Amino acid sequence: SQQGEEDPQALSIQEGENATMNCSYKTSINNLQWYRQNSGRGLVHLILIRSNEREKHSGRLRVTLDTSKKSSSLLITASRAADTASYFCATDAKGSSNTGKLIFGQGTTLQVKP
C-alpha cells in the first residue's frame, strides 16, 4: 500500500507568501525525506529528518515530523517563482534500511506566481 500521501495535491500562491505541504504515512519509519521535481526532470533531495527528530531547517525550508500522528510538513518561507515545482515526501519503513526501499507519495504541485 502507498506509504506517503501529500496534501494538498496542488497549491498556488503569490511570491513572498509561505507554502505549507503535508505528508502522512502509515508504518513506522527510520527517516522521512522531501524531494523536489521540476517538470520533466529528475528529483532533487531537499532535506532528511530522522524518526527521533521533530524539526529541521535548511535555508528557507522547515520540516517537522510528528511520529505519533505519522505526519510531516514542509514549509517554504518567502516563496519565489523559482520554487514552482512538485514536492514529494518519501519514507523508508522501519526494518527496510537494508533493502533501500524508499516509498514516495503522490506529491504536491506548487505554483508560485510572480
Contacts to other proteins by CB under 8 A: 2, 4, 30-31, 33, 35, 40-45, 48, 88, 90, 92, 97-107
Q: How far is the CB of 14 from other proteins (least distance, A)?
A: 26
Q: 75 or 102: whose CB is closer to other proteins?
A: 102
Q: 41 or 113: whose CB is closer to other proteins?
A: 41
Q: How far is the CB of 75 from other proteins (least distance, A)?
A: 19
Q: 16 or 95: whose CB is closer to other proteins?
A: 95
Q: ω into residue 8 within 30 of 0, thus cis?
A: yes
Q: 36 or 79: whose CB is closer to other proteins?
A: 36
